[in-house]
Amino acid sequence: MTLLSELNLIDNNERNDLELEEEELNKETVTINIYRYKFTDNFTQELYKFSKIHQYDHRTDFKKAWNVWTECNEDIVSVEVLRLTNLGYHGDILDKMFKSARYYFRKKSTEKKAPVVRCQYVSVHKDLLDSMDEHIEMNIRNTEYKPSEAFNNYCAVNKDLLREEVTRLLKMGLKDSIEIGNKIKKTYKNRYFLFVK
């Protein structure tokens, strides 16, 4: 075998290997179904501008303005229609655009909402949780057991432990006695439902 034929053989083998790798990659490609077809950011901005300009228009006036807008912006509308069609969207794309402008962007607020400030969570002591679990475990087999009535019984039996917990919660920052009572009651009911699960 000549040197030239050996080089051709190696070159052909490399080509075959590359073709096989490419075929394997094509087989491994997973098609992901699209369930929500979104507009491009540029198109969304233009649609949003239109919606805000005609935000307070009557339904018929909005529709007329929409027809004028789609004619004036035919180039970006047709590009977006083509893009969504190529992605596999089968519905009426112009109707999708109109509904987005009329029912979503028109009503979308421009104000940024301040984040909600949450209170610091104060947990109850482990000893209290353990005593609640014991009380529930002892009384759960009673056929007339109700969490609300059992909580009242629990409070009557564990007055000292509850006094300690109320004092601890007051030191932790809870000031309202109703809030503390509700917290302990809710904790008892949560323990009950965890036990039932």
Three-class SS string for 48-115? HHHHHHCCCCCHHHHHHHHHHHHHHCHHHHHHHHHHHHHHCCCCCHHHHHHHHHHHHHCCCCCCCCCC
Domain ranges for the chain, please list them.
41-105, 126-196
For the four alpha carbons of 22, 27, 32 and 37, in that order, the dihedral sign comes to positive
Model confidence at 128, pLDDT cuts 50, 70, 90, reads: very high
Using one digit for the tens of pLDDT, what is the confidence trace for 38-55? 999 999 999 999 999 999
Among 96, 103, 97, CA closest to 55: 103
Task: Output the CA torsion 35→41→44→45 (10° steps).
Answer: 160
Contact criterion met (CB below 8 Å) for 141 and 91: no
Q: What is the DSSP letter of 33?
A: P
pLDDT at 145 over 90: no
Measured CA to CA, the distance from residue 141 to residue 100 in angstroms comes to 57
Contacts of 38 (CB under 8 A, 6+ apart): 44
Residues 138-162, mean pLDDT to the nearest whole number = 86
Least confident of 44-48, 56-60, 63-67, 116-120: 116-120
pLDDT, averaged across the chain: 82
Contact criterion met (CB below 8 Å) for 136 and 191: yes
Measured CA to CA, the distance from residue 83 to residue 39 in angstroms comes to 9
| DSSP helix, strand, coil percent of the chain (3-state; round to 5) | 70, 0, 30
Using one digit for the tens of pLDDT, what is the confidence trace for 67-101? 999 999 999 999 999 999 998 899 999 999 999 99
Among 82, 70, 187, 80, CA closest to 136: 187
